[in-house]
Amino acid sequence: MSTTDNLSASGGAAVLSGAMLSMDVAEMVRRTPELATNAAGIQGAYRSAGIEADERGIAQGIAAAADGRFDYAPPQSGIAVWLARRYVDRKRWQPAAIAFLLTLAIGFGGYYFVYKPYRISQVEQARLDLQMRMPAQMDALYQTIFEETKVQQASVEADELRAQGKAAAQKGDRDGAQAAIDALASLRDTLQLDYTLRVVDGPDGKWGFWNFPADNSDAANYYLIVQAIDINGQALSLPITDEQTRRTETVSKWGIRVPIEVYRSVESDKQDNGVIEHNLLGAKTFGFLEPQYAVDVLGGTVTRW
C-alpha cells in the first residue's frame, strides 16, 4: 500500500518531501505500470487524497520506477544467504546435526577422558614393571634358588638367568625379561621336587621297548618306561625333551635309555612272576636338579614310542 492509499484511508492531509514523493510514486508505478506515462493521472491521484505533489517529484518517481532504483533484490548467494536458509530449514536438519555432534562429543570424550588415560596408565604400568616389579621378581627367585639348592650348578644358572633378564628389562624387552622369570621359576620348581623314578608295571604289560636310532641302524637303543612318583604316591607330569624329535613335552610317562644289561635285568624280573619287583630306577630329592640313579642310565629320553 502506497503513502497515497494510507493518507486517503485516514482522511488526513500531508505534504511529501521530494525523496518521499519519489519513492511513493515509484511504488505506485510498480503496482500500476500504466501510470508510468501518465504523470497528470498520478498528480490527480495525490490531489484527490489531499496531497500537493509537484511535477518534479513525480517525474523523479517515474524515472526511479524505470531504473529500479528503489526495488529490493534479495541476495541469491553467499554465506549469509546460505546460513539464513539453513536457519529456516532447521527443523529438517537440526535433529541429525545434534545427533552427529553428540556422537562426536562422546567419541572425543571417550578418547580423551577414558581411552587415553587408560593407555597412559598401561604405558606407565609397563614402565614400572620393567624397572621395578620384574627385576624384584628375578631377585626373589634367585634368592630362593640360592638358599634351597644343594648343587652349585643351580645357583650359577640362576645368576646367569637373572643377569639376562635384567639386561632385557633395561632395554625395554618385556618378552625377554618375562622369559628369564619363567626360566627362574622353572628352575626353582625343579629344585623343590621330591620323587622316585619307577619302572612302569601296568596292566598293559608295557614296561620298556627298543628301537634302531635313525643315524645308526646297526645298533639298538633300549628304553625303560618310567614315572615320577611323589611322596603321596601320585604320578607327576614333568617337562621331558625327546632326544629324537628335540621337542619338550609335559608327560606323566617317558622312556629313559639304558644299557642292554639293565634292560635285560628288568625283562628277567618281569618274566619271573609277571611283576617287576625291583622297579626303582632312581630318586630326585629336594635341592637337586637331577635324580640320583640306582642303576646305570645312558641319559637319553623319549616321550613317544
Same domain, yes or no, for 217 and 139? no
Do residues 130 and 207 both lie within one domain?
A: no
Identify the residue with better confidence: 90 or 167: 167
245 and 267 within one domain: yes
Q: Give the global pTM.
A: 0.58
Residue 77 lies in a domain: no
The number of domains in the chain is 3
Q: What is the model's pLDDT at position 47?
A: 80
Q: What does the pLDDT look like over 256-271, one tens digit per residue?
A: 999 999 999 999 999 9
208 forms bridges with which residues in the sheet? 224
Residue 292 sits in the same domain as residue 215: yes
Burial code of 54-85, b = ≥16 C-beta within 10 A, e = fewer? eeebbebbbebbeeeeeeeeeeeeeeeeeeee
Q: Is 131's pLDDT higher than 70?
A: yes
Is residue 82 included in any domain, yes or no?
Answer: no
pLDDT of 17 above 80: no
For the stretch 113-127, pLDDT in tens is 777 777 777 777 878
Check residues 145 and 55 and name the one with the higher pLDDT: 145
The arithmetic mean of pLDDT across residues 158-185, rounded, is 96
Return d(Cα 19, Cα 56) in angstroms, integer. 11
Assess if residue 46 is contained within a domain: yes
Regarding whether 144 and 185 lie in a shared domain, the answer is yes
**Are residue 153 and residue 203 in the same domain, yes or no?**
no
- Only one residue has cell 622353572, namely 186
Residue 81 lies in a domain: no
Q: 75 in a domain, yes or no?
A: no
In a shared domain, residues 213 and 186: no
* 5 pLDDT more than 60: no
Which residues form the domain of 165? 94-191
pLDDT-derived band at 8, boundaries 50, 70, 90:
very low
Q: Verify that 180 and 251 share a domain, yes or no.
A: no
Note whether residue 175 is domain-resident: yes
276/234 same-domain check:
yes
How far, CA to CA in Å, does 215 sit from each of 13, 212, 242, 244, 256?
Answer: 132, 8, 16, 10, 19
Q: What percent of the chain has pLDDT over 90?
A: 50
How does pLDDT run across 39-82, given as a tens digit for each residue?
A: 777 878 888 887 877 778 778 878 877 877 776 666 667 787 77
Q: Which residues of 227-266 are buried (b: 16+ CB within 10 A; e: fewer)?
A: bbbeeeeeeeebebebbeeeeeeebebbbbbbeeebbeeb
Position 12 pLDDT exceeds 60: no
Q: Pick from 142, 159, 191: which residue ends a domain?
A: 191
Last residue in a domain, options 133, 168, 191: 191
- Asked whether residue 304 carries a pLDDT value surpassing 60, the answer given is yes
Based on the domain organization, do 215 and 293 belong to the same domain?
yes
Residues 186 and 201 in one domain: no
Mean pLDDT of 88-99: 83
Residues 103, 63: one domain? Answer: no
In a domain, 86, yes or no: no
Give the domain-ending residue among 158, 191, 224. 191
Q: What is the pLDDT of residues 229-261, one digit of tens each?
A: 999 999 999 999 999 899 999 999 999 999 999
- Mention every residue, 6+ apart, whose C-beta is less than 8 A from residue 275: 201
Split at pLDDT 50, 70, 90, the class of 14 is low
